[in-house]
A and B are shown apart, each in its own frame.
Chain A
Amino acid sequence: NAGVTQTPKFQVLKTGQSMTLQCAQDMNHNSMYWYRQDPGMGLRLIYYSASEGTTDKGEVPNGYNVSRLNKREFSLRLESAAPSQTSVYFCASSVEQGNQPQHFGDGTRLSIL
């Protein structure tokens, strides 16, 4: 089982460029999440999707958009990248809302110059 797969693993962008981070899970999970991880800040929730067709803002949604394309895929888009968005981005999924643990992808290291 691949679990949660994120692409790309690394990316460098210039300020103002746009890009989409892709995430797919093969565990038939209903809920999917995007986090960013910054030094000394732990993980912060950007957006999440409790089910196909629904998305909700997390703690730090500004500057991002998401799309739950189908049950498997949940993409994160930066329309106009800013240096403050330099971070490591993690996608995660869980069976459903509630007490189920989240399964994480390997992360995408994104640098904005």
Chain B
Amino acid sequence: AQTVTQSQPEMSVQEAETVTLSCTYDTSESDYYLFWYKQPPSRQMILVIRQEAYKQQNATENRFSVNFQKAAKSFSLKISDSQLGDAAMYFCAFLPHTNDKIIFGKGTRLHILP
């Protein structure tokens, strides 16, 4: 069975600094997709970034980038120049290519210190 592990329940970062959120996953599949979702206090789930496993190049979206290490089954999220609006719960998610059942990690709560 596939699993997604976020080992950091909570993290804090100073405003304007860089922070990295960790995510590891376990699967026997070779083709899959990985996502990071952000859930602010409003409770809305917002897609931050996604990565296709067959792509070696790490995905980037403005201040958000990932470090995808397929062999290590690691998918970390780096947030540069942290802003107060980045404060939220962040979920790592795994979607195998063979079905529609996305699996979420338990989340990391990110605090931004002014």
Contacts and interface: CB of A to CB of B under 8 A. Distances in A.
In which size bucket is the chain B interface? 20 to 34
Among A31, A41, A43, the most chain B Cβ lie within 10 Å of the Cβ of A43
B107 A106 contact: no
B78 interface: no
Interface in A96-113: 97-99, 101-104, 106-107
A42 B99 CA distance: 20
A90 B37 CA distance: 14
A41 B43 contact: no
Given A104-B44, A107-B43, A99 B105 contact: no
B50 A59 contact: no
Contact of B104 (A40, A42, A48): A42
A58 B101 contact: yes
Contacts of A59: 101, 103
A113 to B, nearest CB: 22
Contact of A104 (B45, B50, B97, B103): B45
A48 to B, nearest CB: 6
A92 interface: yes
A90 B45 CA distance: 9
24 contacts: A31-B100, A40-B106, A42-B91, A42-B105, A42-B107, A43-B45, A43-B91, A45-B101, A45-B102, A48-B100, A48-B101, A50-B100, A98-B33, A98-B97, A98-B100, A99-B33, A99-B50, A99-B95, A101-B47, A102-B102, A103-B47, A104-B44, A104-B46, A107-B44
